[in-house]
Amino acid sequence: MSRNQLSSVIVSSLRRTRPTFTSCVQPPHHQSISHCRFASSIPTKHKHYDVVIAGGGAVGSVLARLLLDDSIGSSIGNIIHNRRRPLKIALLEQRSSPPPLDSLIQQNGKQQSQTPHPRAYALSPTSLSYLGSNVLQSLIRSNRCGVYNSMQVWEHDGPAQLHFVGEDLIGAVNDGRLVDLDRYINSGEEQNDASASNNPRKGRRRPWLGALVEDAPLVSSLWDELKSDDRINLLDNVQIKSINAPSTSQMGNVEPPPLVKLSFTQSTINKDKNEDAETCTISTNLLVAADGANSLVRRTVGTFPMMTSSYGRKAVTCTVKLESSMAQTAFQRFLPHGPIALLPVWNSQADIGSSEKSKEGPIYANVVWSTTPSEANHLLSLSPSDFTATLNKHLCQGPNVNPSLLPNNSNIPSIPFVSTIAKEVDSLLRTANTALTMGTWTEAPTRNYFRMPPKSIGVVSPILGFDLTMSHVTASSGGYTSPRVALVGDAAHTMHPMAGQGLNLGMGDVNSLAMLIKEAVDSGMDIGGTSLFLDRYNQERMIKGSAIVGGVHGLHEIFGCSGNLPGSVADGTYDSGMGSSGGLQSLIGYSRSLGMNVVNGLPLVRRALAEVAAGATPKGI
Ligand SMILES: Cc1cc2nc3c(=O)[nH]c(=O)nc-3n(C[C@H](O)[C@H](O)[C@H](O)COP(=O)(O)OP(=O)(O)OC[C@H]3O[C@@H](n4cnc5c(N)ncnc54)[C@H](O)[C@@H]3O)c2cc1C
């Protein structure tokens, strides 16, 4: 059997594997009935491309946009970009192309009476800047950006809170380590490091900590921009049939190094409304796998061992209508089995200047509730009104005092004196921790008080469930790359959504890869033909990816979300004290509260954390 035939067999057998999403989730643009084909005038059969991107979701589309954006690039490219050889790119997407943003938002010139889709991402300022000012402005104009400039994190059985505010990022913006999004949006001016550092930020609005953007408008607006560029072939309804990628030994011994060959079918609807499938073969210098967690490219090329581990947790997500404004705040309350996040979606009633009209109308929020699979299944089985009541019960509660550190009354030594001392010490420690929390809230008026999240008044979307898995490519093989192939986004890593970092990490991957591809082109080198650029990509992303995936895993452990503590949503025992069994568990909880208090009270530490989440360049780099 030839290598090609072998790949085809592998591809068809892998295709039978089910994706990891557990509910029947079809992102909205899959529902599009128009089977369009956005091929350029050049026929796609036997065509050669500099870069082929498999997967036109958020990550693949942003990579294409960054590659086509000549205003950003390598330092050589910034000087000579007018003379940069135009890249030829193909983007292969298995689903139908997303509808244009306008048609998604409006029908017959009228605002559609739809509600936000629960598949949405909290994007950092840095990731938002990778969308480019045009895409970002269209999302803001069409009211599809849920901006937040403050964030409140607290726990169910302790007094501690973390309050991040936009002001925490001003230092990084002033130093040019973080994009000045305000200026970027208002002027449409793309920033590079040099211009940012020469323009200190003065007298502006609070910087955004981030914005929540739904998947469908995000991908639609990116495709809208890509469609207008004839350097890219956007091919939808594609089924990859075979991938023939060179081996490491071939790369060293054959001159010129062999290319990647891909064959695929593309289905179109003919004039009789029947489906036609056309088979195409293409070659490329670099194949980028942006085809998600279940990446067909990664599995077919077969040289990417992954470290994978289930969190034993499931995320439940939906859109709710609120009774009052979120005031541009993202809320997250930690329960014993995982957090509930309430995130502003669309900018309804949010004052972001240009969107006056959005001050009217309903207020929506995106809910992401991570918990054990059995609790998640219980939540998924609830009626919308029961879900709303359960959500309010578990989210709309303030901080608590720490539960007793003593195991439980029956185990306290019966000697009266010892017992009294133990109780006194326990009470003193718990009071001290609570007092410390109150004391650390005084640094700025914006973080002086706990804000109760607004109440939900109804679920207005389907309630979806996702199994949560941690995965990352291993360093033992090529990591993020193999000859002429690179992994980006969920194809290379997945993690718990508690820190909202999955897509942000993917955005970082594509920014790094796009810069290196431009550097290769500007140096006149074969993009994937030398390990020079791909090795650098691998090193950069291996460090970043391991740190973020490992960090999120650490947070999951610190917050005790990985255990199976007593108490449950179903029997309502989380907040009655029964969720805490005293002893070691309470001690861990107590230390966690103390740790959160300390972080909240130390501006340098808190700002450093806010900067990491925002995607700022660390100081001194
Ligand atoms: C509940 C939940 C909440 C989350 N919240 C956040 C958040 O707030 N912030 C954040 O940063 N991240 C978040 N994430 C993570 C985020 O969803 C992912 O990191 C992100 O969607 C990955 O994007 P991607 O483009 O790599 O993959 P995908 O979104 O899976 O896109 C892959 C694309 O490739 C296409 N494709 C697949 N196979 C093929 C093929 N064989 N050929 C051609 N095309 C193919 C698919 O159709 C799709 O368009 C969350 C995740 C979950 C589960």
The answer to whether 520 and 577 have CB atoms below 8 angstroms apart is: no
Using CA atoms, how far residue 131 sits from 66, 217, 446, in Å, is 8, 12, 30
- Kindly give the distance from the C-alpha atom of residue 173 to the centroid of ligand 1, in angstroms, as a whole number: 29
For residue 541, with 0-12 CB atoms within 10 Å meaning exposed, 13-18 middle and 19 or more buried, which class applies?
Answer: buried
Site to substitute for ligand 1 among 53, 94, 367, most atoms within 8 A of C-beta: 94
pLDDT for residue 81: 52
pLDDT band with cut points at 50, 70 and 90 for residue 191: very low
The pLDDT of residue 13 is 46
- Cβ of 487 below 6 Å from ligand 1: no
| Atom in ligand 1 nearest the alpha carbon of residue 315 | 1
Highest mean pLDDT among 366-375, 521-530, 581-590 belongs to 366-375
Best mutation site among 219, 468, 490, 507 for ligand 1, i.e. most ligand atoms within 8 A of its Cβ?
Answer: 490
pLDDT band at 391 (very low <50, low <70, confident <90, very high): very high
Q: What pLDDT, on the 0 to 100 scale, is given for residue 262?
A: 96
Largest separation between any pair of C-alpha atoms in the chain = 91
Between the CA of 292 and the centroid of ligand 1 the distance, in Å, is 5
Residue 69 Cα to ligand 1 midpoint, Å, equals 23
Residue 357 has pLDDT above 50, yes or no: no
Pairwise pLDDT comparison (362 vs 131), residue with the higher score: 131
pLDDT of residue 347: 72
Report residue 36 as tokens: 């369009």
Band of the pLDDT at 490, cuts 50, 70, 90?
very high
Exposure string over 574-586, b if 16+ CB within 10 A, otherwise e: beeeebbebeebb
Q: How many other CB atoms are there within 10 angstroms of residue 72's CB atom?
A: 19
Residue 2: which pLDDT band, with cuts at 50, 70 and 90? very low
For the cut 60, the answer to whether the pLDDT of residue 443 exceeds it is no
Ligand 1, atom 48, lies closest to the CA of 57
Does residue 390 have a pLDDT over 60? yes
If you measure from the C-alpha of residue 291 to the centroid of ligand 1, how many angstroms do you get, rounded to a whole number? 8
What confidence score (pLDDT) does residue 43 get? Answer: 46
- Summarised one tens digit per residue, pLDDT across range 80-110 is 555 677 899 999 999 999 999 998 887 666 6
Distance separating the N- and C-terminal Cα atoms of the chain: 51
**Residues 285, 516: contact at Cβ < 8 Å?**
no
If one compares 544 and 596, the residue with the highest pLDDT of the two is 544
**Residue 165 alpha carbon to ligand 1 centre in Å:** 28
Pick the residue whose CA is nearest to atom 1 on ligand 1. Answer: 315
Place of tokens 């539960």: 403
Mean pLDDT of 558-585: 59
DSSP state letters, 430-456:
HHHHHHHHHHGGGSSGGGSS--PPPPE
94 lines ligand 1 (CB under 6 A): yes
pLDDT confidence tier of residue 221, bands split at 50, 70 and 90: very high
113, 114, 115, 120: CA torsion to nearest 10: -140
- Classify 123 as helix, strand or coil: strand
Query: Reduced to 3 states, what is the DSSP secondary structure of residue 256?
Result: coil
Average pLDDT over residues 471-497: 93
Instruction: Report how far residue 290's alpha carbon sits from residue 21's, in angstroms, rounded to the nearest whole number.
Output: 17
* Domains of the chain as residue ranges with CATH: 3-149+208-386+461-558 (3.50.50.60)
pLDDT over threshold 90, residue 268: no
For the ranges 1-10, 79-88, 156-165, 297-306, the lowest mean pLDDT is seen at 1-10
Amino acid 401: pLDDT:
65
Least confident of 113-117, 193-197, 302-306, 521-525: 193-197
Ligand 1 midpoint to CA 391 (Å): 26
Q: What is the mean pLDDT of the chain?
A: 80
Q: Please choose from 222, 235, 503 the residue to mutate so as to test ligand 1's pocket, defined by most ligand atoms within 8 A of CB.
A: 503
Per residue in 52-68, pLDDT (tens digit) is: 999 999 999 999 999 99
Mean pLDDT value of segment 347-361: 51
Centre of ligand 1 from the C-alpha of residue 58, in Å: 7
Q: Given the CA of residue 488, which atom of ligand 1 is nearest to it?
A: 26
Per-residue pLDDT, 400: 72
Assess whether the C-beta atom of 224 lies below 6 angstroms from ligand 1. no
Q: What is the mean pLDDT of residues 410-418?
A: 60
The pLDDT of 547-569, averaged and rounded, is 75
Task: Determine whether the shortest distance from the Cβ of 497 to ligand 1 is under 6 A.
Answer: yes
Q: Model's pTM, two decimal places? A: 0.85
How many percent of the chain have pLDDT more than 90?
48
| pLDDT band at 28; cut points 50, 70, 90 | very low
Distance CA 299, CA 277 (A): 24
Q: Is the CB of 500 under 6 A from ligand 1?
A: yes
- Peptide bond just before 413 cis, omega within 30 deg: no
Q: How far is the CA of 27 from the centre of ligand 1 (A)?
A: 10
